[in-house]
Structure 1
C-alpha cells in the first residue's frame, strides 16, 4: 500500500521533490490578446505583441541562430494557477519562436519555502544559465537572490513583484543589471475597495445597522503582500466614505480548504450578520464560495463575495453571479515584458529598472473579455 500522507505531509514531499526537478513545460501554440507594458518613466515601452508572430510570419522566419544555445532559468513559488499558466505558455511559445530551445529553459518551483528557493537558485546558476528570472516569495528574500545573481555575473529579472525602493536603489547605485516587472499590490486592495464602494451602503447594509459588516480572509499573517492588500482596501473604503465594520479578519494561508473552514465557522456563528466576504486569492475565494453555498446563502442576493487572483473558475462564477467580482493579474502580459527585457540584455540594450503592469477589476460587465485572455494566452 502507498503511504497515506496528510496535507502537511504532501506539502513537505513536494518541497523535497522540487529541489531535484527542473520542470520543462510542454505547451501548444495558441493566440489571444496582448497587454501594454508601462516603463518606470511612464512611457509605453513596447506592446508584447511585438514579440509574437501576429504579423503572420512563420516561426522559422523570425528565429535567431544566436539564441539556440542560450540558457534561461526561472524560479517561482508555484507553476499552478491562472497567472503562471498564462505566463509560462506565452514565455515558452515566444522564446521558441525567437530561436531558444525548450530544453534550455528551466522552471523551478519552491512551494513558498525560502530556503528551498535559494538552494534552487544556486542550482540554476550552477547549471550554466545566462539569465535568471525570479518571482520571489517575499520582499525579504530579494537581497540574497540579487547578491547571488550579481556574484555570478548574471542579468536578473524579477517578475510579478516590485521590490522595495531601498533594494531598487541598491541596483541603480551599483549599476547592476537587475530589473523588475510587476504590479503594485496596493492596487488589489484598492480595486476591491472601489468595487465594494460602488455597490453602496443601501445595497450592502442588509441588516440595516448603518455599516457594511464584512469578513476579510487573508493569505498569510505577517506577509507584506497580505498586509498591503488589507491596508489598501481599508484606506480606499475610508476615502470613499463607506462605513464598514470588519467583524472577522482571518488568515487561510492562501489555501481554499482553510478558507472554506473559516467561512463555514463564521457563517454558523455570525449568520446573517455577515454581508460581505473579501478574499485575497482565487483558491480562498472559491473555498469561501463553497461554504456560502453550503449554508444556503445566495451571493448577490443576501451576501456578496469579492476575490483576487482571478482565474477561469472565478470568471465563470462571476458570469453566473455566484461571485460578485475579482481582480485579474495578466500573466501573458508580464511574460511579454520579461521577454523584452531578456532580449535587451542579449542585445546590450538598456532596460528600465521598473516596468509596471496594471491589475484589472473584473465584474460581470467585462468577464467575457478577460476570459478570452485566460482561455487563449497569446
Structure 2
C-alpha cells in the first residue's frame, strides 16, 4: 500500500510540472514572434519612403565669379536644405569650360548615367533646342538657368523651364544709377554722355539687354549719348581691364561713363581707371551688374558708382525648387523670374 501511494505521488508531481512548463512557454513564444514581426516591419516602412534624386548640373564655366557663387549655393541648397523627409538629393556639377561641344557631351553623360533632372547654364543659349531634344528623348526634365532660351525653345516640351532674371531690368537700373548722379553722367557739361560699353557676350541675351536698356534708360531721361567704344569682354575681369585701359588711352578725359555687363569686368575696369589717374565719382562713373561682395565693397568705398544685385541665392533656390516640382510630376511654368535690385553707396 505504501508503494502504491508513493507511485501516485510521483505521478502527480510529474503531471503538475509538465502543466506548469506548458503555461510558461506558450505565451513567451507568442510574444516573441509578435515582437520580431514588429521589429522587421518598421525598417521595411522606412526603406520604402527613402528616395534619392540624382541631379546633374552643367555650368558654362567654373571661373566665372557670379556663377561660382550661384553653383555653390545651388548645390548646398539641394544637399542641405532640400534633402529631408526621406528624400536625398545627389548633386553632380560639371565645368563646361566655355565650350558648348564639351558641355553637350557632359549632358549626354548625365543622360547615360540616369540622372533624374538636369540643371543647365548653357555656354550658348542657341544650343537650347538640341539640349531639350536630347533630354526629351530620354524623358529627363531640364531647368535652364542664367542664360535664357527663346520662347520657341521653351515651347518644345512641357518638362522644361527657365529660372533667371529679366536682364532688361538690370540694364534699366544701370542707366537709372547714372541718371541719379548729380550731373547725370555729363562731367564736361556739353549735354551728352560719352561712354564705353564693355559687353559680356554679344550672343548672350543678358548681354544684349543690359547693353541696350542701360543706354535706353539714359536717353529716356532726356540725355544725349555718344558711344566711344563697345567691345566684347567675355564676362572676364582681365578683358574688362584691357578694354577700358585702351579706351582711356585713346579718348582720355572724354570718357565720362563706363558701363560693364557684369561686375567682374567692372572690377577690371576700375583697375584701368585707377592706373590712368582717374577718380570714380569725380571725373568718371563706373557701373556693373551682379553685386559681388567685392563690387559692393567698391561701391561703398566710392570706387564704383553702383551695381545691380543679380540674386544668386534667390535664383538658385528657385531653380532647385522647380527641379523638385518637375521630378515629382507636377506641372511647371515656362519662366520663373527673380527681380534685380539697385545697389548704390549707403
Question: Secondary structure of 1:227's match?
Answer: helix
From 113, 116, 132, the counterpart of 2:102 = 116
State how far apart, in whole Å, the 2-side matches of 1:246 and 1:276 are.
10
Q: Pick from 176, 179, 183 the counterpart of residue 194 of structure 1.
A: 176
Which residue of 1 is the match for residue 280 of structure 2? 299
Give the Å deviation of 1:91: 2.9
Matching residue of 2:79 = 96
Q: 1:114 to 1:64 in 2, by over 3 A?
A: farther
- Check conservation: 2:148, 2:164, Cα contact below 8 A: yes
- Partner residue of 1:72 out of 35, 38, 55: 55
Distance 2:326 2:47 in 1: 15
Distance in structure 2 (CA, Å) of the matches to 1:92 and 1:344: 17
Separation in structure 2 between the aligned mates of residue 261 and residue 80 of structure 1, nearest angstrom: 18
Q: Which has the larger radius of gyration?
A: 2
Give unpaired runs (5+ residues) of structure 1. 1-62, 366-378
Q: How does 1:1-378 map to 2 (within 5 A)?
A: 66=49, 68-97=51-80, 98-99=83-84, 104-171=90-157, 176-199=158-181, 202-365=183-346
CA drift of 1:258 comes to 1.9
Offset from partner CA, 1:197-225 (integer Å, 9 cap, x none): 2225x352222222111111112344443
Cα distance, 1:67–1:162 mapped onto 2, change above 3 Å: farther
Question: Structure 1 residues 262, 338: closer, same or farther in 2, change over 3 A?
Answer: closer
Q: Any idea what the Cα deviations from partners look like across 1:120-167, whole Å, max 9, x if unmatched? A: 100111112111111122321100010011001111111223321222
Q: Secondary structure at the match of 1:133?
A: strand
Q: Give SS of 2:140's match.
A: coil
Match of 1:13 in 2: none
| Aligned mates of 1:73, 1:327 — CA distance in 2 | 29
Counterparts of 2:68 and 2:202, CA distance in 1: 26
Contact 1:82 1:310 in 2 (8 A): no
Distance 1:64 1:148 in 2: 33
Deviation, structure 1 residue 326: 0.9
Runs (4+) of structure 1 exceeding 6 A deviation are none
| Partner Cα separation in structure 2 for residue 274 and residue 256 of structure 1 | 19
Higher helix share: 2
Q: Distance in 2 between matches of 1:147 and 1:260?
A: 39
Instruction: Pick closer, same or farther for the CA change 1:253–1:84 going to 2, 3 Å.
Output: closer
Q: CA deviation at 1:335?
A: 1.9
Contact 1:82 1:312 in 2 (8 A): no
Label 1:313 to 1:66 Cα distance change in 2 as closer, same or farther (>3 A). farther
Structure-2 separation of matches of 1:214 and 1:64 = 63
Alignment match, 1:16 = none
**1:85/1:331 contact within 8 Å kept:** no
Quick one: structure 1 residues 265 and 84, their matched pair in 2 at CA, closer, same or farther if it must change by over 3 Å? Answer: closer
List runs of 5+ in structure 2 lacking aligned partners. Answer: 1-45
Change in Cα spacing, 1:339 to 1:259, as seen in structure 2 (3 Å) is closer
Query: Matched residues in 2 for 1:84 and 1:263: separation?
Result: 23
Aligned pair count? Answer: 297
CA contact (8 A) 1:73 1:107 kept: yes
- The CA distance in 2 between the partners of 1:349 and 1:215, in whole Å, is 46
Question: In structure 2, do the counterparts of structure 1 residues 220 and 179 end up closer, same or farther at CA, with 3 Å as the change threshold?
Answer: closer
Q: Give the alignment's TM-score, normalised by structure 2.
A: 0.79
